Chains A and B, each alone.
Chain A
Amino acid sequence: MKKAILVLAALLAVSAAYAQVTVEFWHAMTGKNGEMVQAICDKFNASQKDFKVVPVYKGSYSDTMNAGIAAFRAGQPPAIIQVYEVGTATMMAAKNAIKPVYQLMAEHGKNWNPKIYIPTITSYYSTSDGRMLSMPFNSSTAVMYYNKDAFRKAGLDPEKPPVTWPEFFQVAEKLKASGMEGGFSTNWISWIQLENFSAWHNLPFGTKSNGFDGLDTQLVYNNPIVIRHLQNIYDLSKKGVFIYGGRENKANPLFTSGRVGMHFESIGGYGNMKANCKFEFGVARLPYYPDVPGAPQNTIIGGASLWVFNGKSAAEYNAVAEFFSFISQPEIQAYWHQNTGYLPITQAAYELTKAQGFYKDNPGPEIAIKQLLNKAPTPNSMGIRFGNFNIIREIEDQVWEDILAGKISVKDGVNKMVTEGNKTLREFEKLYK
């Protein structure tokens, strides 16, 4: 016991001598990704002596956000907090609680150049005139995974995954006919089949540039193309070609256990697929409808970004700015990208990864990056910025289940998603006006 006290005293003396500034970084990363967060912070702490970033795991994304909110209300927020993309508008609107990253970097950063970041990623977390509010951290996008062994068995070319939706549906029927339980499944009906689908076809998801230009945004995705798309999936569900596997990423086992031959999931799930698929699988771009002008456009991201809390000391902000510059370096970004499957946030990190030959053995992540960079983003494909976004996605999940159960028609269902979603948008607007 005495020894422990002595050691503690010595440690305190040492840290006092250095006057090192310590800041906390609350995050929601588990498993391999959690280890990588720790590894990056360790690298940062070893790279210099003035600052120390301490990563603290706070549970799921919503747990972490709630912990941040509670800590802010109690006057003890961490300096950095990881917030998922659906929390973006809530964080943005809490003007008293956050310090925008562009402001932080202007005041405390050294030689910070916002141009190094990939615009399709930073735009998601920027104001409509391009000022970064939070630092993108773990970004992913939606892609199609397909079972190459199953393709061979069904007499299809495993190197030629379907490119358009009509082709895709035909292939799905063939896969089922070849003896699989079903043709395809999808995760995240909201994020993949509605939000990314709309961006990929350059269709507005909401007015006001999908919410970037104001809180008075309205959902407008109840157009004939979206309705046709969901109708196609619904019709195939009746034939058993589409199998519903649940909300969020719950449908993964349908693909990894070989019950369906094609599946939609985030590129962030690439590592998981590699670990769990006992067959050869491929990654392909999302299909598109060739009759829609402008398709394919570019897909949008999901994942989370790092927000900085307001009311910290200048020394703490210096630490955060230094950390943000550090994690933006190509080597660190490439390390993070190659170990987690999340996308690199700078062009330089992508080039570096390419030069290192990483994509030869891992073509999946590059397909995701190319899909994201396919075209310069339009107001329909910069991202989505809605208040109460979680509730909107929940409504979409719920109505989609009612559609599949035959309780409501596809057209009425999509209209219901939009009307109900708009109600919650109006509530958010009322609160922040």
Chain B
Amino acid sequence: MRSYLPAFACKAPASLDEALVTLASEPGKWTPLAGGTDLMVLFESGKLPPGHFLSLWKLPELRGIEVTDDAITLGALTTYAEVREHATVAFELPMLAAAARESGAIAIQGRGTLGGNIMNASPAADSPPALVAYDAEIELVRASGARWVRYRDFHTGYKVMDRAPDEILRRIRIPRRDPGQHWVHFYRKVGTRRFQAITKVGIAAIGRVEGGVARDVRVAFTSVAPTVLAAARTEAALEGQAFGPGLVAAARAATRADVTPIDDIRSTERYRHQVAENLADSFVHALFAQKA
């Protein structure tokens, strides 16, 4: 362990109210800590700046998966293991289940949380693209009240979020889809190896075909922009369109315009561009149940 433990302070409030009061009384002083699967790696390697950390792990208000007629609501502390094990989530939100299954090792899945995955704001995170594609909303709470934000709009820049220093992410709400409609869920994580890898480029996309044209298309990418990317041009290129070589080419071109990848330690800008396009291409074929 390379960090100097005496330079760090950590407090573990027993209730959400206590946590919110702490954040409100000393705004910006306390950094929320959920499962720790990101922060502890930095801590171990000596790369976490010393400071004050507020452990949310024991807050019951941030736990649990609730299924109602029109939404599935997941507490911010819902772990990947809980996502994987939940039958309704697995059935209705297969891309979220896939993200949970492909994040880290079993031990990490027992500790890593959806809320942490969002608030760590890594552009390579695996659950955010699924949450964007599923039109998730997130609830932010502070001592003085709560608000809901469309998740698609939450990340505004690299590690920049629509969050005040005294706010905590409480839960994530995903609207349920009409079971009478046939939805195509398309999730693909391309990592540096098959499992236990950080994503080099990934896609979560959903849509349906009605009357021969694509409807309600959502496309999100990971690791190709400073934040999880809602691929608006790709969505627009597909919405209301019928299958054909022209559509595939249009989707590829739109994706090329949507993404802004870089070279880094894991991959190259060229690879990410090309594979993002290929994934968009694969999604179009899957959406219309066409072979490539």
Partners in one complex: no
Residues of A with Cβ closer than 8 Å to B?
none
* Chain B residues within 8 Å of A, Cβ to Cβ: none
